[in-house]
Structure 1
Amino acid sequence: MDGSEIFAKTPAGSEEMRSRDRRLPQRLRTLLIMVDGTRTAAQLQAAAATIGAPDDAVQMLVDLGLIAAMAATRAAAPAVPAAAAAAALPTVDEGERFRVTQKFMNDTAVDLLGFRAFLFTLKLEKCYTRADLLALMPDFNKALAKASGAEVARVLELRARELLG
């Protein structure tokens, strides 16, 4: 597996997030949550190691058909100066970052905490700004740490902060 490939959930992976039919081990499921179409295989493998998932966790998710390398990442990129490449990238507005981060935090909390996430999700629904989400990060970390341990909570909080920008 090429460490620079970017992975995204397949339709089966998205369905697994909703249904939990396959009863994935918790650490493998946590890694599946982290696959969002922006992380490379190397980043996912590093995250897997941090949360204590098996060394071949990314490959396991591929083999199960839950994630796949995005086709665009396999094409050879033309050689362009870094400044030109950066200028060509679309910018993500702050509102979109907020929505993506809020959804990630909600999905993660519900997935790891189940019904116990109810109070946290109520707090999350009252967030209307980036500052509101940042202020809620300690509660997010504390709730996840109770359910999955401090290392998993740290990695997921870091991911939420990355998404928020």
Structure 2
Amino acid sequence: MLDTAVPVKTASGRSEIADRRHALGARQRMLLIAINGEQTVREIRERFGSLGDVDMLLAELATADLIDVAGTPAAPAATVSGRAAATQSGASEPESPIAQARQFINDSVVAHLGLRAFLFTLKIERCYSKDALLDLLPEYRRVLGKAVTPAEVTALSQRAELLIARI
């Protein structure tokens, strides 16, 4: 797999996060949740190296049609938002405001906590309403506080609150 390839979730992959139809292992599921269409294979390997053979896990997800790994260079992909990258890879459905809020919360926690964010990301998956996301905010702040400064917690929390307010 090319280091510069940028994996994105397919429609089946996004559905799998909520439906759990493929009975993925914990390592595959964690990797699927973390894939956001903005990180290269190299970055994913570095971040999730403790999972073992990341290339094998990515290949399994691709074989199951849960992700698409296009060999696009990292620079153009980094200039495109995750949603636009997903749209370019064949997913044509626009993200709803609740999906955007959930994705931001998930991405920010995974970016700062890595593997330690796994249990929290499972909670995010179960948030299907504005109230559920609002109820999750105190824990979001607490979890982020383990990895970033109070000022960063405030900034990320405010961004999450703005996204939730749009729902």
**TM-score with structure 1 setting the length:** 0.51
Look up the equivalent residue of 1:62 and give its one-letter code: A
CA–CA distance in structure 2, aligned partners of residues 138 and 34 of structure 1: 20
Tell me the residue number matched to 1:2: 2
Tell me the residue number matched to 2:56: 56
Shift of 1:18: 0.7
Tell me the residue number matched to 1:153: none
Q: Do structure 1's residue 111 and structure 2's residue 111 form an aligned pair?
A: no
1:6-155 to structure 2, matched below 5 A, reads 6-52=6-52, 55-70=55-70, 73=72, 89=79, 99=101, 100-104=103-107, 105=109, 109=120, 111=122, 124-125=136-137, 136-138=143-145
Shift of 1:135: 5.2
CA spacing shift, 1:52–1:112, aligned 2, 3 Å: farther
The C-alpha deviation readout for 1:43-87, integer Å capped at 9, x for no partner, is: 22233322346551111111111100247x26x97xxxxxxxx9x
Look up the SS of the partner of 2:8 in the other structure.
strand
Look up the SS of the partner of 2:65 in the other structure.
coil
CA spacing shift, 1:121–1:51, aligned 2, 3 Å: farther
For the aligned residues, what is the CA RMSD? 4.4
Look up the SS of the partner of 2:59 in the other structure.
helix
CA spacing shift, 1:54–1:41, aligned 2, 3 Å: closer
CA–CA distance in structure 2, aligned partners of residues 134 and 21 of structure 1: 31
Give yes or no for contact 2:18–2:125 (8 Å, CA) kept in 1: no
Look up the equivalent residue of 2:144 and give its one-letter code: M
Look up the SS of the partner of 1:59 in the other structure.
helix
The C-alpha deviation readout for 1:96-150, integer Å capped at 9, x for no partner, is: xx944325459952527988xxxx96653359xxxxx6554146x7xxxxxxxxx
Count of residue correspondences: 117
Q: Higher relative CO (CA 8 A, sep ≥ 6), structure 1 or 2? A: 2
Look up the SS of the partner of 1:56 in the other structure.
helix
Shift of 1:20: 0.5
| Larger-gyration structure (1/2) | 1
